[in-house]
Amino acid sequence: MKNIFVLAFFVVCGLSLPAQAKPVLLKMPVYVGTNLVGLGSTPKWLAEQVNVAGKGLLKIKLYEPGRLIPPKEILAAVDAGQVTAGFTTPGFNAGVLGTKASIFSAVPFGPDAPEFLAWVHYGGGRELWQKMYDDKGIRVHSIPCGILAPETSGWFPRPIDRPEDLKGLTMRFFGLGALVMEKLGVSTSLLPGKEIFPALEKHAIDATEFSMPAIDEGLGLYKILKYNYYPGWHQPATLLELLVNKATWNGMNTQQQALLEMACKAATLDGFALGEAIQFPAMKRNLDQRGVENRYWSEQMLELFRAKWDEVVAEESAKDPQFKKIWSKLVAFRGNYATWSEWAFLPRPGTRRIPKEPFRQ
């Protein structure tokens, strides 16, 4: 589905590119398959729009996972110039970048999508994001290029009513939330999406989290696991990124660069709106047709996850000064944002919220 207004705006930009500009082709492998609507559909939408608006002077050729390079090698391949671009999220590269990379993907009990985007684009987050690559000597230009609303926090083979029910489980888990689960006796691994179902079938893992209900549906998780837990405390919002080889980026003219930056902002909007629109039908299908129980974590369990997350933050901050710096910047922004949020937004139905203190300059 094309956003006519945005497309028209891009076309104007495309037409303004000078005739002498050197055409640029971005070969872009993706970490997640485009068949997963609501997640993989974002890079597909991006490529389609750029290929129309670029007027032949900027093109993206998308490669499905494993067709050009393995998903786990995207960052290294873009850095080396083996490919000119890649679509991923920093949390998939924490092994190279450190756990601080996952802050730019998803933060347990952290910002939701609007707040996260505010911090990244206008609160200094993007500068810290790019600096993370620069400090490592990794030659990429990173563009925030998508965001997901809350995910579910896991599919389990049995009810999880107490902390003891988690002990001994092997589970696919993403990002910083995996460090929380490890503290609760869960053995975690980060499998690519296409490997999750076979691992469940072979009992290599007992449980998994992946994404939102409509995206998890595409993996068929409901066929094996029948207990799907909410809310997604580990990923209230998840950022995606377009990586462009630094030499390729520097070789583009300013209008080509601007077109790509605008396309990513448009892709973020499109992906967020699509993701929010398609979740309830999937939840209903799971309940009505597949025998899945949609369960909400108890207050006890949510408090436990939060307490263990606080421990993770303290430990990671002590180990990595850059983690501590990035975290402190995000916390400072969130402290200011909390005042705006408390005063500006309506409470959820059935609750009554009054700001704790009068607001004063």
Rounded Cα–Cα distance for residues 41 and 275 (Å): 10
pLDDT in tens, 18-64: 446 799 999 999 999 999 999 999 999 999 999 999 999 999 999 99
- Predicted confidence at residue 55, as pLDDT, reads 93
Q: Between 133 and 352, name the one with better pLDDT.
A: 133
CA distances from 335 to 119, 124, 176, 346 (A): 12, 14, 21, 19
Phi, psi of 145, rounded to the nearest 5 degrees: -145, 40
> pLDDT tier at 211 (50, 70, 90 boundaries)?
very high
The sign of the torsion formed by the CA atoms of 259, 142, 238, 340 equals negative
CA distances from 29 to 24, 53, 60, 63 (A): 16, 20, 10, 4
**pLDDT beyond 60 at 228:** yes
> pLDDT tier at 350 (50, 70, 90 boundaries)?
low
**pLDDT beyond 50 at 4:** no
Pairing state between β 207-208 and 140-148: unpaired
Phi, psi of 303, rounded to the nearest 5 degrees: -65, -35
> pLDDT tier at 347 (50, 70, 90 boundaries)?
confident
Q: Do you know the residue count of the chain?
A: 361
Cβ contact 142:161 at 8 Å: no
Give this prediction's pTM: 0.90
> pLDDT tier at 357 (50, 70, 90 boundaries)?
low
Within 8 A by CB and 6+ apart from 182, the residues are 188
pLDDT in tens, 79-99: 999 999 999 999 999 999 999
Lowest mean pLDDT among 3-12, 56-65, 98-107, 220-229: 3-12
Cβ contact 213:286 at 8 Å: yes
Sole residue written with tokens 């500006």: 344
Tokens of 42: 């974002």
**pLDDT beyond 70 at 15:** no
Rounded Cα–Cα distance for residues 105 and 16 (Å): 34
CA distances from 280 to 148, 181, 215, 219, 285 (A): 15, 27, 12, 17, 9
Nearest to 242 by CA among 123, 89, 117, 99: 89
